[in-house]
Structure 1
Amino acid sequence: MKCLLQRVSYAKVYIENKLYSQIDKGLLVLVCFCVNDTRQNIELMVKKIINLRIFEDNNKKFNFSLKDINGSIMLVSQFTLAADTKKGNRPSFFEAMEPNKAIEFYNEMIEQFKNNNIEIRTGIFGASMRIELTNDGPVTIMLEN
């Protein structure tokens, strides 16, 4: 599983040129499920994301987590994070989980954020989306497990 986290002041998802969802302060999380991922990977990743101390205190130190600041999550599926670009100029996506299983994992991840009392908004799995955001920092972190 790969998750690209961006600390944001806001994030909005547009589908077919219409605002679908939005958050204020929090994390935009682009998630890719890979062929060898298990449900345990989801649980570990959710815990890491909500407890990762990447929000600043008054001294500009990364001392606060998403939970500490009562921030929100914008979760967007992004199979292209599985891109292998080692050969040629066209990426291959053999490591990406097949869509029918990946959507189950995506929905499970949403539920786990909710079960941890995290406000969550999403895109639509597999849809063509446009994302607007202000990266706060900028802070962008790749998590893999």
Structure 2
Amino acid sequence: MSGATQVPVARTVLQQCVRASLMVKPAEEKSSEAEFVQIDRGMVIYVCFFKGATEEILPKMVSSLLNLRVCETSSGQMSSVLDLPGSLLVVPQATLGGRAKGKAMQYHNNIPKEQGLRLYQAFVALCQKELGPKENVGVKSGTYGNRQVLNLETNGPYTHLMEF
């Protein structure tokens, strides 16, 4: 094996949760209330794609993320979200691609927005396919390219960074 370091094309952060909600559409003055998606027990996945990312990486990402034992069962054992069974909340998080330069953050390595949207939608669809139709679980997702409000309740930090 060569000593060359592979440059990641995606970065994710996983957070187990007891409950999570994400605002996907802000309230408009007097015309509508804010819209939220919510999950109960499961996992929040924050995802960012970098330049060079293609759909080829998605099956590996989804398989790795959904099979990792990072969720705690009621008996205290660690389980994958698939085995729990639990729900997923997928949050687009372009800020995971940031690098500090002086006192500012720069995002030059992030994928262009249109490509990122396509990969994000395909990632969510693949998560839905892998999780399958199970009672009381599912996949909810945030709105790509928008600022969102997240409320998260967890029973332990269990926060993990994964690069692909």
TM-score, normalising length from structure 1? 0.92
Is contact 1:12-1:19 (8 Å) kept? no
RMSD over equivalenced CA pairs, Å: 1.5
Deviation at 1:122, TM superposition (A): 0.8
Residue identity in the other structure for 1:67: L
Q: Residues 117 and 59 from structure 1, CA distance in 2 versus in 1: closer, same or farther, beyond 3 angstroms?
A: closer
Determine the structure 2 residue equivalent to 1:105.
119
Residue identity in the other structure for 2:141: T
Determine the structure 2 residue equivalent to 1:82.
97
Determine the structure 1 residue equivalent to 2:140.
121
Structure-1 separation of matches of 2:73 and 2:21: 25
Does residue 13 (structure 1) correspond to residue 22 (structure 2)? The answer is yes
Determine the structure 2 residue equivalent to 1:52.
68
Deviation at 1:36, TM superposition (A): 1.6
Structure-2 separation of matches of 1:54 and 1:69: 10
Give the stretch that moved more between structures: 10-19 or 104-113.
Answer: 10-19
Structure-1 separation of matches of 2:73 and 2:16: 14
Determine the structure 1 residue equivalent to 2:13.
4
Among 152, 156, 162, the residue aligned to 1:133: 152
Residue identity in the other structure for 2:94: F
SS in 2 for 1:137: coil
Q: What are the superposed Cα offsets for residues 70-125 of structure 1, whole Å, 9 maximum, x if unpaired?
A: 1011011110100011x311111011110000000001001101111352101111
Structure-2 separation of matches of 1:113 and 1:128: 22
Q: Which is strand-richer, 1 or 2?
A: 1
Gaps of 5+ in 2: 1-9, 28-33, 133-137
Is contact 2:95-2:107 (8 Å) kept? yes
Structure-2 separation of matches of 1:60 and 1:23: 20
Deviation at 1:58, TM superposition (A): 6.3
Gaps of 5+ in 1: none
SS in 2 for 1:31: strand
Residue identity in the other structure for 1:52: L
Q: Which is helix-richer, 1 or 2?
A: 1
Structure-2 separation of matches of 1:135 and 1:55: 10
Structure-2 separation of matches of 1:142 and 1:35: 19
Is contact 1:10-1:22 (8 Å) kept? yes
Runs ≥4 in structure 1, deviation > 4 angstroms? none
Specify the structure having the higher radius of gyration (Cα). 2
